[in-house]
Structure 1
Amino acid sequence: MGEVLSGTPADPATARAEAADLARACGGDDAAFNRLVQPLRRELHAHCYRMLGSTHDADDALQDALLRAWRGLGRFEGRSSLRTWLYTVATRACLDIVAAHGRRALPVDLGPSSDRAVLDGAPLTDIAWLGPCPDAGLTDNRGPVARYEQREAIELAFVAALQHLSGNQRAALLLFEVLGFSAAEIAAMMDTSATSVNSALARARRVVAERVPARTQQQTLRLIGDTRVRELVTRYATALECGDADGLVALLTEDVTWSMPPLPHWYRGIEAVTDFAVQVPMTRCPSWRHLVISANGQPAVAFYLGDGAGAHLAWSITVLTLRGERIAELTSFLGPDHFTPFALPLSLP
Structure 2
Amino acid sequence: MTTDDDLTAARSGDEEAFGRLVTRHRRELVAHCYRMLGSPQDAEDALQETLLAAWRGLPGFEGRSSLRTWLYRVATSVCLRQARRRPRLLSPDAGPPRSDVADLGEPVPGPVWLEPLPGDLVDDEDPATAYLRRESVELAFVAALQHLPATQRAVLLLREVLGYSATEAAALLATTPASVNSALQRARAAVAGQTSRSSQQAELARLGDAGRAALVDRFVGAWERADVPALLDLLTEDVRFTMPPLPAWFAGRTDVGRFLTDRVFATPWRLRPAPVNASIGLLCEQYADGGWHPGSVTVLGLRDGRVDWIAGFVDPALHRLFGTGSAGDR
* Alignment TM-score, normalising by the size of structure 1: 0.90
Residue pairs, 1:173-188, within 5 angstroms: 173-188=156-171
Size of the alignment, in residue pairs? 329
The answer to whether the Cα contact below 8 Å between 2:200 and 2:302 also exists between their aligned partners in 1 is yes
- Indicate whether 1:95 and 2:75 are aligned: no
Q: C-alpha displacement at 1:121, in angstroms?
A: 2.7
The answer to whether the Cα contact below 8 Å between 2:295 and 2:315 also exists between their aligned partners in 1 is yes
Residue pairs, 1:95-174, within 5 angstroms: 95-101=80-86, 103-119=87-103, 121-126=105-110, 128-136=112-120, 138-140=122-124, 149-174=132-157
Q: Write the distance in 2 (CA, Å) between the matches of 1:137 and 1:329.
A: 22
Q: C-alpha displacement at 1:347, in angstroms?
A: 5.5
2:206 paired residue among 193, 211, 223: 223
Q: 1:147 to 1:134 in 2, by over 3 A?
A: closer
Which ranges in structure 1 are unaligned for 5 or more consecutive residues?
Answer: 1-13
Q: Residues 1-58 of structure 1, C-alpha deviation per residue, up to 9 Å, x if partnerless?
A: xxxxxxxxxxxxx7xx111110100000010000011011000000000000000100
Q: C-alpha displacement at 1:65, in angstroms?
A: 0.3
User: Which secondary structure does the structure 1 equivalent of 2:273 belong to?
Assistant: strand
Aligned residue identity for 2:316: P
Q: Write the distance in 1 (CA, Å) between the matches of 2:328 and 2:6.
A: 44
Q: Write the distance in 2 (CA, Å) between the matches of 1:183 and 1:142.
A: 22
Q: 1:212 to 1:147 in 2, by over 3 A?
A: farther
- Indicate whether 1:298 and 2:279 are aligned: yes
Q: C-alpha displacement at 1:298, in angstroms?
A: 0.6
The answer to whether the Cα contact below 8 Å between 1:143 and 1:179 also exists between their aligned partners in 2 is no
User: Which secondary structure does the structure 1 equivalent of 2:284 belong to?
Assistant: strand
Aligned residue identity for 1:314: P
The answer to whether the Cα contact below 8 Å between 2:319 and 2:327 also exists between their aligned partners in 1 is no
Aligned residue identity for 1:281: V
The answer to whether the Cα contact below 8 Å between 2:144 and 2:191 also exists between their aligned partners in 1 is yes
Q: Write the distance in 1 (CA, Å) between the matches of 2:315 and 2:99.
A: 24
Q: Percent identity?
A: 44
- Indicate whether 1:212 and 2:195 are aligned: yes
1:323 paired residue among 299, 303, 307: 303
Q: Write the distance in 2 (CA, Å) between the matches of 1:225 and 1:48.
A: 30
The answer to whether the Cα contact below 8 Å between 2:170 and 2:177 also exists between their aligned partners in 1 is yes
User: Which secondary structure does the structure 1 equivalent of 2:99 belong to?
Assistant: coil
Q: Write the distance in 2 (CA, Å) between the matches of 1:180 and 1:198.
A: 14
Q: Which moved more, 1:47-56 or 1:148-157?
A: 148-157
The answer to whether the Cα contact below 8 Å between 2:25 and 2:68 also exists between their aligned partners in 1 is yes
Q: Write the distance in 2 (CA, Å) between the matches of 1:316 and 1:112.
A: 22
The answer to whether the Cα contact below 8 Å between 1:105 and 1:127 also exists between their aligned partners in 2 is no
Q: C-alpha displacement at 1:214, in angstroms?
A: 5.5
Which ranges in structure 2 are unaligned for 5 or more consecutive residues?
Answer: none
The answer to whether the Cα contact below 8 Å between 1:304 and 1:312 also exists between their aligned partners in 2 is yes
Q: Write the distance in 2 (CA, Å) between the matches of 1:110 and 1:178.
A: 28
Q: CA RMSD in A?
A: 1.9
The answer to whether the Cα contact below 8 Å between 1:135 and 1:151 also exists between their aligned partners in 2 is no
User: Which secondary structure does the structure 2 equivalent of 1:264 belong to?
Assistant: coil
* Alignment TM-score, normalising by the size of structure 2: 0.95
Q: Write the distance in 2 (CA, Å) between the matches of 1:204 and 1:131.
A: 22
The answer to whether the Cα contact below 8 Å between 1:104 and 1:163 also exists between their aligned partners in 2 is yes
Q: C-alpha displacement at 1:116, in angstroms?
A: 3.2
Aligned residue identity for 1:150: R
Aligned residue identity for 1:42: R
The answer to whether the Cα contact below 8 Å between 2:31 and 2:121 also exists between their aligned partners in 1 is no
Q: Write the distance in 2 (CA, Å) between the matches of 1:322 and 1:120.
A: 25
The answer to whether the Cα contact below 8 Å between 1:142 and 1:180 also exists between their aligned partners in 2 is no
**Aligned equivalent of 1:314:** 294
**Aligned equivalent of 1:279:** 262
2:269 paired residue among 279, 284, 288: 288
Q: Write the distance in 2 (CA, Å) between the matches of 1:340 and 1:113.
A: 29
User: Which secondary structure does the structure 2 equivalent of 1:172 belong to?
Assistant: helix
Aligned residue identity for 1:337: A
Q: Write the distance in 1 (CA, Å) between the matches of 2:88 and 2:161.
A: 20
Aligned residue identity for 1:134: P
Q: C-alpha displacement at 1:148, in angstroms?
A: 6.7
The answer to whether the Cα contact below 8 Å between 2:90 and 2:244 also exists between their aligned partners in 1 is yes
Residue pairs, 1:57-96, within 5 angstroms: 57-96=42-81
